[in-house]
C-alpha cells in the first residue's frame, strides 16, 4: 500500500497550465476517485503518478519518496486504461503474464501467479482465448488481472468502465469494490461520472479547471457541498440554485415535498409553482416546476401530480444551502423564511 502526495505541483502543456501549485494527499489503502468534467486535470494527475507525464514543477511523493528520478517501470504501480490496451495476438494467459516475463520472473512462479489472479477475477476458463473472443466485461477483467499480477502498491485506473454498457458498468463497479476490499491496496480511479464516484469511492477529490473544489468522503461531499460547483456536480438531478440579492441558495430535488394550501405558512420555506414536465422513473418521479421566473426540479415518490397543475412545495430550512457571490458556502441566516422573502423581493 502507498500514500501519494503532491507538493506544489504544476503541469503545463506549452503555454497552457493545466495544474497550478497543487497540494494534495491521496490516502494509503483507500479507494480514491479523482472526479470532474473533461479537461479538469484528473488524468493529468494520474499520468504524473505513473511517470508517463512528469510534473512541470513541484514534487510527487510515494510513501515519502520523491518519484522524480524513478522510471515508470520501477514505481511499483499498475495502470488500467480506458481502452484495455490488450495485445490482440496474445492469449489471455500471455497478456496477463507479459509484465512478469519482462521482469524475468521464473516460469513456475509466473504460472502460479497468473492462475491465482485469473481465479480471483473469474477468468480461469478463458486463459487460452484471444481478446477478440471475449466480451467487453471479460476484456476489462483481463486488463485488471494484468495489473493485479504485478502485485503493485498502487492501482491507477483511467475511466476503465466507460466503454461498457450501463448494466455491465454497474456489475463491474461492484466487482471493483469487492476487489479493493480483498486487496486493501491504494486505488486511484479517474472518472467524470458522479454516480460512479459516489458508488465506489472511500474518498473523492472533485476537480474543476485544475483546482480542487472539495475533497472528502462521498457522504460529506453530498451532504455538505463547499460551493455551488460541488452542489451542482454531485447529485441527480442537480441541486437547484436560485438567486438572491447577494449570492444564491439551493436545495436538492429530493428534499422538496408537496404541501397543501393549509400547510403553507410564513414559518417554513415554501413556494408556489406550476408543473412543467413529469418524468416517471419507476420508484420515483422527477417534476420540473416553474416558480416565478425560475424552474426547479423535484424528485418525489408522490405520483399524483400532472403537467400543468398548480402546486405548493416546501423544503425544510435545515436542507437549504447558502452561498456568497463567489459561489462559496456560507452560514445560513438565523430567520431563513424572513431572510429569503426580503432577499428575493430585492431581485424581482
pLDDT, one tens digit for every residue, the chain (348 residues): 699 999 999 999 999 999 999 999 999 999 999 999 999 999 999 999 999 989 999 999 999 999 999 999 889 999 988 777 899 999 999 999 998 998 889 999 999 999 999 988 889 999 999 999 998 888 988 988 898 898 899 999 999 888 778 887 888 888 889 989 988 999 999 999 999 999 999 999 999 999 999 999 999 999 999 999 999 999 999 999 999 988 999 999 999 999 998 877 656 788 999 999 999 999 999 999 999 999 999 999 999 999 999 999 999 999 999 999 999 999 999 889 888 888 776 655
Taking the C-alpha atoms of residue 9 and residue 21, their distance in angstroms, rounded to an integer, is 5
pLDDT in tens, 30-61: 999 999 999 999 999 999 999 998 999 999 99
Question: DSSP 3-state assignment of 343?
Answer: helix
Per DSSP, 328 falls in state B
Q: What angle do CA 84, 90, 95 make, to 5 degrees?
A: 50
Task: Return the exposure string of 172-211: e unless at least 16 CB atoms fall within 10 Å of the residue's CB, then b.
Answer: bbebbbebbeebebbbbbbbbbbebbbebbebbbbbbebe
Among candidates 189, 220, 198, 153, which has minimal Cα distance to 43? Answer: 189
Q: What angle do CA 300, 304, 309 make, to 5 degrees?
A: 95
Cβ 321 vs Cβ 250: under 8 Å: yes
Containing H/E element for 342?
helix 336-347
Cβ 332 vs Cβ 323: under 8 Å: no
**Domain ranges in the chain?**
4-223, 238-347
Cβ 206 vs Cβ 309: under 8 Å: no
Cβ 279 vs Cβ 268: under 8 Å: no
Taking the C-alpha atoms of residue 276 and residue 298, their distance in angstroms, rounded to an integer, is 11
Sheet of 16-26: strand order equals 16-26, 4-13, 57-62, 65-66
338, three cell numbers: 424572513
* CATH architecture, domain defined by 4-223: 3-Layer(aba) Sandwich (3.40)
pLDDT in tens, 9-38: 999 999 999 999 999 999 999 999 999 999
DSSP states of 12-80: EETTEEEEEEEEEEEPTT-EEEEE-STTSSHHHHHHHHHTSS--SEEEEEETTEE-TTS-GGGS-EEEE
| Main-chain phi, psi angles of 22, to 5 degrees | -85, 135
CATH superfamily of the 238-347 domain: Nucleic acid-binding proteins (2.40.50.140)
The answer for residues whose C-beta is within 8 angstroms of residue 74's C-beta and 6 or more apart is: none
- The pLDDT of residue 19 is 96
Task: Return the exposure string of 36-52: e unless at least 16 CB atoms fall within 10 Å of the residue's CB, then b.
Answer: beeebbbbbbbbbbbbe
Question: DSSP 3-state assignment of 287?
Answer: strand
Amino acid at each position: 500500500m502507498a500514500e501519494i502526495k503532491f507538493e506544489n505541483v504544476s503541469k503545463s502543456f506549452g503555454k497552457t497550465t493545466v495544474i497550478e501549485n497543487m497540494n494534495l494527499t491521496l490516502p494509503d489503502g483507500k479507494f480514491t476517485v479523482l472526479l470532474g468534467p473533461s479537461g479538469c486535470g484528473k488524468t493529468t494527475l494520474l499520468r504524473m503518478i505513473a511517470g508517463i507525464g512528469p510534473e512541470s514543477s513541484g514534487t510527487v511523493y510515494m510513501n515519502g519518496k520523491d518519484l522524480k528520478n524513478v522510471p515508470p517501470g520501477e514505481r511499483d504501480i499498475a495502470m488500467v486504461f480506458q481502452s484495455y490496451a490488450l495485445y490482440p495476438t496474445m492469449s489471455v494467459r500471455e497478456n496477463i503474464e507479459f509484465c512478469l516475463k519482462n521482469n524475468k520472473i521464473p516460469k513456475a512462479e509466473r504460472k502460479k501467479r497468473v492462475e491465482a489472479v485469473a481465479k480471483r477475477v473469474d477468468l480461469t476458463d478463458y486463459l487460452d482465448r484471444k481478446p477478440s473472443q471475449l466480451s467487453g466485461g471479460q476484456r476489462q477483467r483481463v486488463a485488471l488481472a494484468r495489473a493485479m499480477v504485478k502485485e503493485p502498491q498502487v492501482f491507477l485506473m483511467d475511466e476503465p468502465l466507460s466503454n461498457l454498457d450501463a448494466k455491465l458498468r454497474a456489475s463491474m463497479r461492484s466487482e471493483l469494490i469487492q476487489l479493493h476490499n480483498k486487496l486493501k491496496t491504494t486505488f486511484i480511479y479517474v472518472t467524470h461520472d458522479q454516480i460512479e464516484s459516489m458508488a465506489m469511492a472511500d474518498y473523492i477529490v472533485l476537480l474543476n479547471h485544475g483546482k480542487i473544489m472539495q475533497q472528502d468522503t462521498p457522504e460529506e461531499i453530498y451532504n455538505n457541498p463547499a460551493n455551488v460547483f460541488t452542489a451542482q456536480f454531485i447529485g441527480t438531478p442537480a441541486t437547484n440554485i436560485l438567486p438572491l440579492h447577494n449570492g444564491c441558495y439551493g436545495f436538492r430535488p429530493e428534499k422538496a415535498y408537496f404541501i397543501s394550501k393549509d400547510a403553507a405558512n410564513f414559518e417554513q420555506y415554501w413556494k408556489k409553482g406550476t408543473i412543467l414536465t413529469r418524468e416517471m422513473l419507476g420508484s420515483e418521479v422527477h417534476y420540473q416546476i416553474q416558480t416565478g421566473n425560475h424552474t426547479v426540479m423535484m424528485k418525489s415518490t408522490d405520483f399524483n401530480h400532472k403537467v400543468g397543475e398548480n402546486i405548493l412545495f416546501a423544503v425544510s430550512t435545515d436542507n437549504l444551502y447558502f452561498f456568497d457571490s463567489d459561489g462559496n458556502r456560507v452560514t445560513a441566516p438565523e430567520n431563513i423564511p424572513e431572510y429569503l422573502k426580503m432577499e428575493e423581493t430585492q431581485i424581482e
